[in-house]
A and B are shown apart, each in its own frame.
Chain A
Amino acid sequence: MPAVSKGDGMRGLAVFISDIRNCKSKEAEIKRINKELANIRSKFKGDKALDGYSKKKYVCKLLFIFLLGHDIDFGHMEAVNLLSSNKYTEKQIGYLFISVLVNSNSELIRLINNAIKNDLSSRNPTFMCLALHCIANVGSREMAEAFASEIPRILVAGDTMDSVKQSAALCLLRLYKTSPDLVLMGEWTSRVVHLLNDQHMGVVTAAISLITCLSQKNPDEFKTCVSLAVSRLSRIVSSASTDLQDYTYYFVPAPWLSCKLLRLLQCYPPPEDGAVKGRLVECLETILNKAQEPPKSKKVQHSNAKNAILFEAISLIIHYDSEPNLLVRACNQLGQFLQHRETNLRYLALESMCTLASSEFSHEAVKTHIETVINALKTERDVSVRQRAADLLYAMCDRSNAKQIVAEMLSYLETADYSIREEMVLKVAILAEKYAVDYSWYVDTILNLIRIAGDYVSEEVWYRVIQIVINRDDVQGYAAKTVFEALQAPACHENMVKVGGYILGEFGNLIAGDPRSSPLVQFNLLHSKFHLCSVPTRALLLSAYIKFINLFPETKVTIQEVLRCDSQIRNSDVELQQRAVEYLKLSSIASTDVLATVLEEMPPFPERESSILAKLKKKKGPGAVSVTELEDSKREGGELNGGADRGPDTSALAASNASTPSPSADLLGIRSAAPINVAPVSAGSLLVDVFSEAGPAAPSAAVNDDGFLRFVCKNNGVLFENQLLQIGIKSEYRQNLGRMYLFYGNKTSVQFASFTTTVSYPGELQSHILSALKPPNLQMR
């Protein structure tokens, strides 16, 4: 048993705790606890009214049992009774119990609220603090309803003691966070802001947390706090270490208060007032200067507090993003920390630099540290520090160092922690795509990625490489060759087989000339992996095989034999069986023209936001992807689209449409030429006026003759496309009946409002054509 505890020690409690500790097994412990619970139950139900001391003791025991992990379902009433006692210790235990074991019994809540109300209106500051602490700990809606109006009054009243003011401020903050609608600041705003000038540092510390939270929700109402905060901060920063007495922490003046002031300033843009701004810049410079001075104490607490202020100041500088001088100094300071002895500082420096890297003023300065960061990536023992280094490399990547960074990240990936591999893979894929000047490098990188971390390469990544290879003519041959070589490795990841199967199926003809990669060799290579693959991959390979039959007629017999064998056409998986049977039939009965049409090369993919970027955003949360990144991805999307633009192959279609009468001039009249009205979207976004300015003539002018003359020969395709809208047409005809579908695709991320379409026919045709218009069917993609 320990020595006598101070004050009103509860001996029975100490004995009980000793007993529990001495229990040799879990069962013994439970037995002892149950015995105690029975004892307490009987005492509570007993006839004799318990005295305050005993009640306190038993309630405390119940609390202990609860904190050990067992459920307690009684004792609340007794705890509430303790609240009305006059003895401080008994009240304390009562409040502690109800804060920890929150009960939703409304009767109890009423009683608790009553007790709190009494304590709040007593003039005793210790009791008031207890009550306020309880409200802050529980913070339930009922409490907010009961007390939200009273607490601000306590907070700003002149005769409230400082300690009570502190508790009141934070209590109000808690209530505001949980029930913002009940806490109406209106009339109290200026008085609360004025608390920043209070002479008691503790009050300022507490009040500032409240003000920061309120400012985030209502910045305009609280903007007077900025100048007050700046003057307070400069007073602290320039004070000697003896000025603030007990608020100096290991020779650092008021570190918590300084950091909070800096955080408050981060809620607002840089101050417009010249004098205020000047003072603030001076402050920040002083803080940066102090970091260079020799430390006043060897203790780690001193350096932690000093550096905490420094890092917060750097966050503020980054947030303002307007003082190039300060940004560069901040970057240099962080650069020094990158090689500091203490792991914590290296970690934080890497993290801060990530945000610095996205600012235009300091991006170059950050890049100068690339060697240090790469070194950190390779040599740090702590995995979290290595991860920050990887994040920083990703942030500082641009065209000049992309190749180096991607290479480093790939080599890191080989030994990286499994939990972070998927994210790394996505990042490498994004970087490779964004900064690829030479697309063969991109293809190499992705294939390497699959080789190194195949399991973590998600679908989006290899879809993307296929999309890019298909959209770019110049890299198709290289891709085919590289994939072919990669497949020859003895142990090949399944994703590699998928990519390889697809690419060889499309572009195998580009390397078929070389005898080492002749069609039959290619087929055998793919087929050797067939049995090792899962069902979706096999399905993909079967499609590749039928494409081979089209590309290389000499392989037809071999492949047909494979398709014909029982393991394919009687395969238990429906998809594989269907494919095998259909492909077999297709290859046997279709003429070469038809086969060529059906299996023609994939058209280029339309441009969308990179799904990889979307996946990374989803993984890391909305804050992680910087704005510049998003813009870049949109821009590069445009490039990709502008690259290869091949119209669909129309010649083959004529053959299949031989039976229908060739459309004459009449058909041209039926098309919908009316302007499409797009009403301005109320969200005030950018796409509003494109059509209305141009007037009705514009859309038809935009549909150039090339565009719709195509539809003389074919029924389906894109009739019109611009940045905002894509109109597709699909038509079918039988004898004298025709049906035409028009699809309007919204290419923006905002919804169209009041979108209407009209059809008009030039006069004479109106009598010839009976038309039935179906109303547009809104289908959101």
Chain B
Amino acid sequence: SFKYDAKHDPLGQMKAFKAAFADVEENPDWRSHKLIERQRWNPYSMEGGSTCAIAGDNFVVVASDTRMTAGDINVINREVDKIHALSDNIVMTNAGFYGDVLQMRRLLETHLHKYRFDYRSNMTVDLCAELLARNLYYRRFFPYYTGVILSGIDEHGKGAVFSYDPIGCIERLAYSASGAAEPMLIPFLDCQVGHVTLADGIERPKLTLERACALMRDAFRSCAEREITTGDSIHLVIAEAGKPVRHERRKLRED
């Protein structure tokens, strides 16, 4: 007579049986290719890179790197535009899945164009920010895979930076960053722009356009040292009240 010792299971039979049972549960014979495709379907990919924006009294400085990577390893493109100046006072920058970046740009451009057609004046940054927040939320169940930052000059002539999460939680801030190097950029900006490390009584340095640009360049140079998907060159976009948008490019590490 065969005595089976279930507690010790010396031949590993119970273990094999349980494994086979779990396998059949997960991969049943009747599962069609459609269901397999549904399970493996991944429309997203990360192209890397990082972006940053600082708002001043009457200007806004937006910076990004220009590297596009595939799967954190291969560099596909060294001259990609991640900052899109949608008009003279609205600048959108995006880090994440490049397909959604392009789609979001098309969406905003269409809306701005339609607004101009309907109301015969340019859309202001505050309205565009609300619009973008709602459009991001309309995709709540199939989100855009990006961290957007919208910046520009508001109707009072002050610089504005709006930061979003992927489904549209909007917040107006003095500075923001998104992308792969966000955890490195934000503490740097907290220290230099937010002055969280200075004691209360000490005088804070004024945030001029020159200081903001210098901070941005320094921030990206230090991020390129420590982050693999950030590098190649810095693309700076400066929007000032009453002036057309200016672009600047500086070389960064290419390794």
Partners in one complex: no
Chain B positions within 8 Å of A, measured between CB atoms, are: none
Chain A positions within 8 Å of B, measured between CB atoms, are: none
